[in-house]
Amino acid sequence: MRMTGWILLAALAAPAANAVEYQTVLPKQSTIHFEFRQTGWPIKGGFKRFTTQMAFDPARPEAVHVQIDIDLASIDTGLSRADEESGDKLWFNRNTHPKATFVSSQVRALGNNRYEMRGTLTLKGKSRDMVVPLTFTPGNNAAIFDGAFVLRRLDFGIGEGRWSDITIVANEVQVRFRIAATGG
């Protein structure tokens, strides 16, 4: 009976001993992209500079913490005029709000390496709760975290005044991200 107890204890402890907590983000392998429609045409872009702090252990999703800070001046739509205008008061108002920040509050495992991350996105001085689905893909050199969500720009006051007309610029912005990280 005593031997059975030790075997059971070892079996329960084995997953925790093999678990890896991913904390070191690989910026050159990580991306944040977006897409929206303006007068019916797709506009695609991304952000060149952002920092990610994370502690992700797939065996303990309740202990996961993620913070992403995006430098809004690093926007790249492929159109220099649009990139410059995005800093205006009607759009990101970068003089007052130079970055966007997402901070996780809860992560729930959905099975098959899929997770639901809840948190708060702060953009242009407005904070909104978000639910972000993501997929975790473990790898030999790095794990990959892929996710996507829809941001409603008018909830954050992005594109005010004449730009608030959703027939000109769509309210929905599809955001996709890929974060590469190593464990230790």
Model pLDDT, residue 173: 98
23 - beta bridge partners? Answer: none
Domain at 28, CATH number: 2.40.128.110
Note the pTM of the prediction, 2 decimals: 0.86
* Count, residues in the chain: 184
| pLDDT single digits (tens) 9-40 | 333 333 333 457 899 999 999 999 999 999 99
- In-domain check, residue 70: yes
Number of domains, the chain = 1
Low-confidence ranges of the chain (pLDDT < 50): 1-18
Contact between 177 and 147 under an 8 Å Cβ cutoff? The reply is: yes
Model pLDDT, residue 10: 34
Distance CA 90, CA 158 (A): 7
- In-domain check, residue 5: no
Model pLDDT, residue 24: 92
Q: Which domain does 61 fall in, by range?
A: 20-183
- In-domain check, residue 4: no
For the chain, helix, strand, coil in percent to 5 are 20, 50, 30
- In-domain check, residue 96: yes
3-class DSSP state for residue 68?
A: strand
- In-domain check, residue 30: yes
- The burial of 43, by beta-carbon neighbours within 10 Å (0-12 exposed, 13-18 middle, 19 or more buried), is given as middle
- In-domain check, residue 8: no
Model pLDDT, residue 170: 97
- In-domain check, residue 155: yes
Model pLDDT, residue 20: 74
3-class DSSP state for residue 77?
A: coil
